[in-house]
Structure formats: C-alpha cells, structure tokens
Chain A
Amino acid sequence: MAKATAKRAKSTENTPFYVPMSDEIELFEAAFHAKLPVLLKGPTGCGKTRFVEYMAWHLSRPLITVACNEDLSASDLVGRYLITNEQTVWQDGPLTQGVRQGAITYLDEIVEARNDTVVLIHPLTDHRRILPIDKLGEQIQASDGFLLVMSYNPGYQSVRKELKPSTRQRFVSLEFNFPTQEKEAQIVAHESDISFDVARKLVYLGGKIRNLAGQGLEDELSTRLLIYAGQLMKADIPPLSACEAALIHPLTDDRDLQRSLLEVAKNYFG
C-alpha cells in the first residue's frame, strides 16, 4: 500500500524552511499556473522533498506524497474496492485523491516504480489532464489546483533502471544540486540548531568529501547527512565521532577510504 501523507493550509507558524538556490520558486510557480507537470532532478538529499513541501505551503495547496517502490501497483495509486459491513466501498488511491482535491501530488523516486505504473500517469501530464479509472468506468478531470510532481535521481547508475525518454519528455524539469557553501551552512545551522561557524566547518568538510564522488565514493554526500552530523554535535557527541557516524560510515565500507575521510575531518575538527 502506498504511503500517502496529506498536509494542508498555509499557516505562518510552520513555514517550511527553504533557502532558494536560484529561480526554482518562480519556475515552479509558473508551471503550476500553466498546469505543467514538473520533474525534479537531483542527487539524494539535496532538498527536493523540502522544496515541494515549501511550494505546497507557498501556493496554499495540499500535498500528497507517494514514495514509489517496485511493488507499487496501479491499484495502489488509483484506488480499490474495500469491504465494510457486508458492503463494498470504493477507496480512492493517493493519485485519485490528488486529482480530485486539486493537490500537489508528489511521486518520489519515480524510477523505482514499475513501468506499467509510470504509464498510468501519461494522460494526466498532457493537455487532457485526466485520470481514467477502469474499475469505476470513469475518467476524472483533474481539478484546477492539481499538479503532478515527480522526482528522479540521475546519478543512479543501474543500466536497468532509467526513466524512459517518453516519460521524461512530458515534464518541465528543474535541476537541483547542492547549495552553495554559504547557503548550505545556513541550512545546516538552521536545521540542526548549531552555530553558523560549526555549520560552516561541516559544509567545508562536506565539500572536500564531495570531491571524491565517483572517485571512490559511489554516491554524493547529501545535505541531509550534514544536518545529521550537526544534530549529533548538538547532542554533545564529540565532533569527530559525529562525523564518522553521520558522514563517513554511511558513505563507504572501504577502510582506507574511511581513514582518508576521517583525516580530512580532523583538519576541521581535530
């Protein structure tokens, strides 16, 4: 069953914290008003999900998030009949809910979903904006506020898992990358509630670690991990232990590489 979460309403109290990198807010807003589906490309943990949360708040739309996986079936997205009290009741899936409510519907890591599931969204992405539901014999017209958003990590190397060009071509693409060091430090400081100076050291260290992406490290170091490291430090874990636990061991099992990264960490926190 797909995990769906719905959040609503624009309240000033819990404004999602988001630092814009460039003109992504304006682009997203324009796409929303022009009813164009959006694809967010970028490495793991660089803030794609946070951005969608922020935009939903900014545009005052509910947000429905679906984390995609291999077993995600069409029924999981569209809906199914359930039995209650000797009766059968149709239960909308998250996508149908989004289409009806006019929500921003976010399919996270879409490449993980099966191809037949991905094809299901095609009629929603062009000018028709419809969702056919075979079991109900209905075609639902998407409400005005509905916007389909998907995320995709192009760094994913498997030759057997790639987003089909026919799907990609249906979306406006926003490319995400890691923020500049000043901005990233601002984010890390805010999210983990540590001083800006310590956050900046973490970010500098992160920059050095990212130098090794593709040269030993398989994946890029995410901003998320930097925040974890900050949070551990906030909880009085010694800085080097925090770096090992949050930055180094999650990235590699190679002992030499672990040692090299620890040595770089020592340059800042030794």
Chain B
Amino acid sequence: MFNEDVAYQRLWRRIVNRYAFTRNIQYTNAIEKLYKKQPELTYQALKSFSEERERLEPLQVQAYFSQLLQLQQKRVGGVDPEYLLQILLGLELDHAWRWFYFGLHQNKQQLQRYFSSEDEQSQALFEGLKKGVSAFDVERVLRYYADALTGPGQPLKFHPKDSTAPLDHDYLHLPDRVMAYPDGEALVDQDEDLHFWLYKWLITHEQGHRQAGTYFYEAEDEETGRQALIEYLQSFTDPFMAEALFHLFEDVRVEAHLLRQYPGFEAGRAQLMQLEFAFRPEPESPRERFLEALLQQLHWGKSHIRPEKPWQAGFEKLLKESEGLLEKTSSVSDTIRITGLAYAQLETLFSEPRLREPLSLTLLPYELPLLLDPPPASPSSSDQMRHLWNEPAEDDNPEEDTHEDSTEGDISFKQAFKYDEWDYREQSYRTNWCALHEQPPGEVTAVSTLNAPQVAQIRRAFEWMAEEDWTRQKRQLEGDEIDLDAWVEGMTDLRAGQPLPEKLYTQQLRKKRDLCATILLDQSDSTARLTPTGEPVIGVEREALRYLCEALEALRDEYAIYTYSGDGRGQVDCFPLKTFEEHYGLTVQYRLQALQPLSQNRDGCAIRHITKRMEMQPARTKLLLHITDGKPWDHGYTQKYALEDTKKAIQEARAQGIKVFGVICDPYAPAYVKSTYGPGRSVILKDINGLSDLLLGLYRKITW
C-alpha cells in the first residue's frame, strides 16, 4: 500500500486550486479511480505536472489521467507516464488521442511496448502527427480562398487557434495543425497536399452550413436561428445526444449540398473517408456501436460494424429516412425531424444513461462552433469585443454623451481647431462640435535599421518611375531633335498651301507630376493588436511608413504624414510627423519610430483637419491616403453615427478636390466600410504584414 496519502492530498489541493475544472466531479473521477488502483503512479503523475507542467491545459490533464486509467484497466504494463506527457505536450489534443487509440489497438505483444517510449512505431507516429501543416503557414491562402467562396459582404471569420484573435462564437477556430493519418501499420501520405486539403475542407464545410441554412432554423437571421436551434436541442432530456445526432445528420445534408455545388471535392473526400475509416476507435457500448455504424454508413456508404439483430430494423429505417437529406430541396427542418426520430429510436433501443459531455459524431478534425457550448469570451478580450461590429455599443447615442459636458468652457477647447460633425439622424451638422489640437509628436533618439537591400530596391523602382515621367515630348517649339512626324506633316501642309507649323521639335521634358499626398494614420489603441507574427499592428505600420517615405523621397513628390487619436470630442489630437515643408530627416524618422498606440479615433474630425491643411497646397492633384482599421470609435462616436460622419468628411474633402483613398487594416471589415470611400477607392488589407507592399503598390498605381 502506498503510504504517502498525506502528500497526495496536499498535491491534490494544489491541483484543485490551479485548475478550476477539477471541481467538476466528472473530470476528477479519472484521477480518483486511478489513485485507488495505482496510488504510486498517480502520485508521480500528479507531481510531475504540478511542478513543471504549467503549460498543460485542463483538457490535457484530463486526457492524461483518463489515458493512464484506460491503460491500467486494460492491464498494460511498462507504461512510462513521462512519455505520455511528452506526447500530450507535443501534439494537438485530438492528435494525442489518435496516437493513444492507435496504440490501444495494437496486438498484445506490441501493446506492452507501445507506451514505453521504446517502440519505434509509436515514436514514428508521434513524429508524423507533429508534422502536418500549420494553419499559420497557409493562413493567407485560406483567407483569400474563404473570401472567394463567400463574397465580400459576409466574410467567413476564422483564425488559427491560439492566435491573439478575439474570441467570438462566429469565428471558426482552425486547429494549429491538422492531423496526419495512420494507416494500419505505416503512415501514409504525409504529403502537404492532403493536410492543406483538410483545412480547405474545414472552411468549405463551414461555408456549406451557411449556404445550406443550418443557422437559419425557423428564422430570417443567423442569430435568431442559432438561438432557435439551441432551444430545440435543450428541450431533450439528453441535449448532448440530441446535438451529436443533429451534427451527424446535418453534416450529411450539408456535404451533399457541397458536392452538388463543387464536384471537384469528390475525389478528395473519397480519399479522406478511406483514411478516416481505415481506423476508428472501437465503440464500447451497444449504443456507441449503433452510432458508429450510422456514422460510417451515412458518410462512407459502408461500415465495419455489422448491424446487430435487436437494432437492425430501427437502424435501416433511419438510413432510409435520411436519404431525403441528400435532396436538393432538403432544409435544416428535415435534419431536425430526423434528429427527433433517431433520438426516439435510441431511447427505445438502448437504456444507457444520458451523456454528460458533448459527443462528437462528425468527421472533421475540429468541432463546429458548438451550439450548446459557445466558447466564453475571456475578460481580457472584452475590449477587443467592444470593437466588433456585432457587439451592441455601450454608448452609441451621442445625446447621452456626458463625457465632456464642460468642454465648451475649457480653455484648450477655445484654442483648438474647431470642426463640425455630421449627425445623420438629424441630417445636419453639429457646429463646432469637435476640438482638435495639433500636438508635437513624440520622438525617440534612435531608429531601428530598415532592410537595406529592400530600401535600395524600393528607391530604384520609384526613381525609375520618376524617370518614366521624363518623356520625349512631341511637337515642341524648340528642342534637341527634329520631330520627323511633325516635319513631314508640316512640309506636306506647306505644299498644300498651308502655313508651316511652328512646333517641329521634340524635347526631353519632365511631365510635371504636380501631386501632393498626405498620409493619415489612425493611431488609436486598436493598433496595439498583435499580428500573427506576434508584432503589434503599430509596429508593422511604423515600418511600412518608413519604406513608403523612402519611395516618396525617390519620387520627389510633396508629402506630409499625420497621425491622430484622441479622447472625446473636446480632445482630438493630431500629430504632424512630417509637414509638407519638413524634410525627411532624422527628426521625422525619430517621430515615426516613436509611434505608439494611443486611445480613440474620431476619423471625421481628423479628415476635416487634413482637408484644411491640404487646401493651402498648390499642387493640381491632391491625394489623401487614410490608413485605418475602418472602425471610427470615440466617446459618443460609434457605429453608424461615426461611419456616416466619416463618409461626410470624405465627401467634403472630395469637394475640395482631394482624392481620398482608404487602406483598411482589418481583414474582416464589413463591405459597407468600403462604401465609406466610394467604389474603387479603398482596399481591405487581408494580411497586415503585407502593408508595406500594399502601400507601395497602391501609391504607384493611383499616381501613375
């Protein structure tokens, strides 16, 4: 008998304190049971991860103990708990389970070795599962792909799991890595294509749900439909079972829909099924056997599991009923009906207890955003959540804006530039509503170095573009060469009795670009967001601006750079990083380097200020490049009110002859943000790290 009960208890308390989930009795059962059978092992296991393994997620801890318990129950000897932990730490959870089940299904002799870290096959599988394709590697390709499928109005939101993206139930979380498939003895097809294909299938599948109306159950909009579904599922005594069945049948319906639309998926899907069904965990109870047989039949058209006498009739009836799901005209209501039927069948056939946790009856390596269990928003992300469009704004109503009641009396308000603001509900301006201050920008005393070859390349490209403007102008009064066309035409005219034209020369002349540009950058706190590479957005913007400056210097265009932020209508701050008069010297670079996320952004006011600044510029073509996240946001300045005011400010700028272009740094900016700038006058940046290239390309294109 293990005699360290006290030590165990102490450890146990520590675990309980650290992991809230352990208060859930069900999760602790595995540990308790294991402790009864193998106290020493349990103690060692608890100890090892309580001390060093802070990185373990609750679900991993749970998996760890239930794996140990299962091994114990199957009487597998020679298990190395450290090895199990390594596997859990090294793999996605579902891959770790895959690895585990694969081991459990080895023959007896193999089984003893598999979990002892000495087994080559076990290690090979671990390595294979580790490979896969990372969602980060292919994120950009997938993003374009998803946009192409859905169209700009309704972006399919997805993120690689563990990215810093906001949590939200309508984001699809892609697993970090997709699985590799073990095929019996050896690993097959480790090639990248299959893995990429899986990601693609995940996205297409989710898009299929939207198209086939999964979330529109008895409703016109997704939100209500989702709610109706949840209510329906919760009306069952066993909602988890109802949900599992619903997913099973709905996936069948949606996949039929997708294959009708995209016949090209046929081959890939067949391959997936082949791999998927080559190996499945063995069902344990009769009900599980029934469900597994159903899953295989519905997706694969055949099954490893023979129907058993007691349930064969019911099973076949269900299969027959679900044929209707393949019809083009089927809807989510049909799935609901069959879910009800299947649920009733299960109740009559089996007397197993209700499920205590979600059951997966899908073939996808991820779960759909679960109906019954949407991921909770963590408190730290609530700020980001506020910025999401679908979130109700706390302070959408400017009337209730108490934030700066005293602004009129404020001295700083009086010294400021005052601007009107457009109130779309009143269809009128609020006069002198905002006060903008030009603030001295911050400076640092050193700049990071830019990539020298890249700078050289940019300068060359843009100098070349500037030189393109040196063209040989025809039909000039004087010049270094005779214009042969003009001369021949002139001599002909002369013979025909016409006077000889005077303009007979060609001359190398610089076509005057006659262009000035202002770059206006939103410096609000949303630029603190991290990009997938872990750098804040503002950092990427800083660098992109410096590259752009190099290009503009090479072009010799007149330009200015302003940033803005603020806190309420009485305190809109605008920072001239470089005015038209200033040179791009070290001071400007120090200011660029010092850019940090500030607070809110009142876009309309800032645009009006730039319009005023540009009025005085003599150039014929004036360009305002507005770099923003597309979400104007300030106290009493949100949503439609803010967008309408921004739109109005842009119209005012246009009326002054300024061409306004928007660069929207949010891949999920809704389509109507683009309409703020007018057709063809904005770009939505899909990948923030591409900002520099985009700015250079855009500038070159629109000023050509």
Instruction: State the A residues within 8 Å of B (CB).
Output: 71, 73, 75, 80-83, 87-88, 90, 135, 154-161, 204, 208-209, 211-212, 214-216, 218, 256-257, 259-261, 263-270
Q: Enumerate chain B residues within 8 angstroms of A71, measured Cβ to Cβ.
A: 474
Q: Closest Cβ of chain B: how far from A262's Cβ, in Å?
A: 9
- What are 24 A-B pairs with beta-carbon distances under 8 A? A73-B474, A81-B496, A81-B498, A135-B493, A135-B498, A157-B680, A157-B701, A160-B515, A211-B151, A214-B674, A214-B682, A215-B147, A215-B152, A216-B144, A216-B147, A257-B144, A263-B145, A264-B145, A265-B264, A267-B204, A267-B261, A267-B262, A269-B264, A270-B267
User: Which residue of the partner chain B has the closest CB to A161?
Assistant: B704
CA distance A154 to B679 in the complex (A): 9
Q: Enumerate chain A residues within 8 angstroms of B7, measured Cβ to Cβ.
A: none
Q: By the criterion CB–CB under 8 Å, are B148 and A212 in contact?
A: yes
The answer to the question of B149 belonging to the interface, with a C-beta cut-off of 8 Å to chain A, is yes
Q: By the criterion CB–CB under 8 Å, are B148 and A218 in contact?
A: no
User: Which residue of the partner chain A has the closest CB to B686?
Assistant: A216
Q: Closest Cβ of chain B: how far from A1's Cβ, in Å?
A: 10
Instruction: State the B residues within 8 Å of A (CB).
Output: 140-145, 147-152, 200, 204, 261-265, 267-268, 474-475, 489, 491-493, 495-496, 498, 515, 621, 623, 659, 674, 679-684, 686, 701-704
Q: Closest Cβ of chain A: how far from B571's Cβ, in Å?
A: 33
Q: By the criterion CB–CB under 8 Å, are A256 and B141 in contact?
A: yes
Q: By the criterion CB–CB under 8 Å, are B686 and A260 in contact?
A: no
Q: Enumerate chain B residues within 8 angstroms of A87, measured Cβ to Cβ.
A: 495
Q: Which of B147, B200, B491, B621 contacts A160 (CB 8 A)?
A: B621
Q: Which 9 A-B pairs have the closest CB atoms?
A: A270-B264, A260-B144, A267-B262, A88-B496, A81-B492, A260-B145, A211-B151, A159-B659, A208-B148
CA distance A215 to B153 in the complex (A): 12
CA distance A178 to B261 in the complex (A): 21
Decide: A90 near B145, CB < 8 A? Known: A160-B704, A211-B152, A270-B265: no
CA distance A81 to B681 in the complex (A): 45
Q: Which of A135, A159, A209 contacts B148 (CB 8 A)?
A: A209
CA distance A270 to B145 in the complex (A): 15
Q: Closest Cβ of chain B: how far from A205's Cβ, in Å?
A: 9
CA distance A71 to B150 in the complex (A): 43
Q: By the criterion CB–CB under 8 Å, are B684 and A211 in contact?
A: no
CA distance A261 to B141 in the complex (A): 9
Q: A159-B623, A160-B703, A260-B144 known; 17 other A-B pairs, CB under 8 Å? A: A87-B495, A135-B498, A156-B680, A157-B681, A159-B659, A160-B515, A160-B621, A160-B704, A161-B704, A211-B151, A215-B147, A215-B683, A256-B144, A264-B148, A264-B149, A267-B262, A268-B262
Q: By the criterion CB–CB under 8 Å, are A158 and B674 in contact?
A: no
Q: Enumerate chain A residues within 8 angstroms of B493, measured Cβ to Cβ.
A: 81, 88, 135
Q: Closest Cβ of chain B: how far from A88's Cβ, in Å?
A: 4
Q: By the criterion CB–CB under 8 Å, are A75 and B489 in contact?
A: yes
User: Which residue of the partner chain A has the closest CB to B493?
Assistant: A81
Decide: A159 near B684, CB < 8 A? Known: A80-B489, A261-B148, A266-B264: no
User: Which residue of the partner chain B has the closest CB to A240?
Assistant: B264
User: Which residue of the partner chain B has the closest CB to A255?
Assistant: B141
Q: By the criterion CB–CB under 8 Å, are A256 and B264 in contact?
A: no
Q: Enumerate chain A residues within 8 angstroms of B491, measured Cβ to Cβ.
A: 83
User: Which residue of the partner chain A has the closest CB to B658?
Assistant: A159
Q: Enumerate chain A residues within 8 angstroms of B200, measured Cβ to Cβ.
A: 263
CA distance A261 to B674 in the complex (A): 23
User: Which residue of the partner chain B has the closest CB to A268?
Assistant: B264
Q: Enumerate chain B residues within 8 angstroms of A269, measured Cβ to Cβ.
A: 264
Q: Enumerate chain B residues within 8 angstroms of A256, measured Cβ to Cβ.
A: 140-141, 144
CA distance A261 to B204 in the complex (A): 14
Q: Enumerate chain B residues within 8 angstroms of A268, measured Cβ to Cβ.
A: 262-264
Q: Closest Cβ of chain B: how far from A225's Cβ, in Å?
A: 15
Q: By the criterion CB–CB under 8 Å, are B621 and A159 in contact?
A: yes
Q: Enumerate chain B residues within 8 angstroms of A156, measured Cβ to Cβ.
A: 680
User: Which residue of the partner chain A has the closest CB to B501?
Assistant: A135
CA distance A211 to B151 in the complex (A): 5
Q: Closest Cβ of chain A: how far from B347's Cβ, in Å?
A: 40
Interface centre among B142, B492, B679 (most CB of A within 10 A): B492
Q: Which of A208, A215, A257, A267 contacts B264 (CB 8 A)?
A: A267
Q: Closest Cβ of chain B: how far from A213's Cβ, in Å?
A: 8
Interface centre among B148, B151, B703 (most CB of A within 10 A): B148
CA distance A88 to B492 in the complex (A): 6
Q: Closest Cβ of chain A: how far from B330's Cβ, in Å?
A: 21
Q: Which of A90, A160, A259, A267 contacts B496 (CB 8 A)?
A: A90
CA distance A192 to B209 in the complex (A): 35
User: Which residue of the partner chain B has the closest CB to A265?
Assistant: B264
Q: By the criterion CB–CB under 8 Å, are A83 and B264 in contact?
A: no
Q: Enumerate chain B residues within 8 angstroms of A204, measured Cβ to Cβ.
A: 261
CA distance A265 to B145 in the complex (A): 10
Q: Enumerate chain A residues within 8 angstroms of B475, measured Cβ to Cβ.
A: 73
CA distance A158 to B489 in the complex (A): 34
CA distance A17 to B142 in the complex (A): 39
CA distance A87 to B496 in the complex (A): 8
CA distance A261 to B142 in the complex (A): 10
Decide: A215 near B496, CB < 8 A? Known: A157-B701, A267-B262, A267-B264: no
Q: By the criterion CB–CB under 8 Å, are A214 and B683 in contact?
A: yes
Q: By the criterion CB–CB under 8 Å, are A218 and B701 in contact?
A: yes
Decide: A159 near B144, CB < 8 A? Known: A81-B496, A270-B265: no
Q: By the criterion CB–CB under 8 Å, are B149 and A211 in contact?
A: yes
User: Which residue of the partner chain B has the closest CB to A159?
Assistant: B659
User: Which residue of the partner chain A has the closest CB to B497?
Assistant: A88
Interface centre among A73, A82, A87, A264 (most CB of B within 10 A): A264
CA distance A256 to B474 in the complex (A): 43
